[in-house]
Structure 1
């Protein structure tokens, strides 16, 4: 398994990015300023985009693993890689996600705890309802962990 930084042509991974953020104009808001990594294990299995939010906070803007490879430790491997690589420069790793029974427990297992939320984030920023596990996402939930 190898995790590689993507310097150019980040949109070649759009199908992966859209797994985690299904509206392309939302991806466009962070893809150029973010640092992208892909996880390659006999083929690309996942990706992660991170941004510097200031004040020692590094944010995971997008993390996605191909459905066929979910639940095999690749998401955790990306988070562990980011944590190890950036712990000298940042004090907090944060992620924003919908209040979903699929994603929140994953992040909690990776050592994140709930920090704050943005009310109506999904209804105010997306041009269609966003569903996960048959639940409409409304608020953005932020989780953080110390680096």
Structure 2
């Protein structure tokens, strides 16, 4: 397994990016100024995009694993890699996600704790309803993990 940075042609991974953020114009808001990593394990299995949010905060804007490769530890491996790579350079790793019974527990298992909620984020910023695990997402939950 190898994790490598993608510096050019990030949209070649659009199918993976859209698994985590299903509206392309939302991906466009952070993709080019973000730092992208892909996890290769006999083929690309997962990706992650992080951005510098200022004040010592690094944010995971997008993280996704190919559906056929899920539940094999690839997402956690990316978070562990990011945490290790940026430890000492940032004080907090932050992730915003829908208030879903699938994603919030994943982040909590990776050492994140709830920080705050942005009400109606999905209804205000997407042109169609977003569903996960059969639940319409409305609010964005921010989770944080200390990197110091």
Q: Quick check: 1:118 aligned with 2:118? A: yes
Paired position in structure 2 for 1:128 = 128
Q: How many residues of Structure 1 are paired with residues of Structure 2 in the alignment?
A: 147
In 1, distance between residues paired with 2:70 and 2:91? 28
Q: Any residues of structure 2 matched to 1:27-42 within 5 Å, and which?
A: 27-42=27-42
In 2, distance between residues paired with 1:45 and 1:124? 31
TM-score by length of 2: 0.99
Deviation at 1:61, TM superposition (A): 0.1
Q: Which runs of 5+ in 1 are unaligned?
A: none
TM-score by length of 1: 0.99
Deviation at 1:88, TM superposition (A): 1.6
Paired position in structure 2 for 1:61 = 61
Structure 1: 4+ residue segments shifted above 2 A: none
Deviation at 1:24, TM superposition (A): 0.1
CA RMSD of aligned residues (A): 0.4
| 1:112-131 alpha-carbon deviations (Å, 9 max, x no partner) | 00000111000000000000
In 2, distance between residues paired with 1:48 and 1:142? 17
Q: Which runs of 5+ in 2 are unaligned?
A: none
Paired position in structure 1 for 2:139 = 139
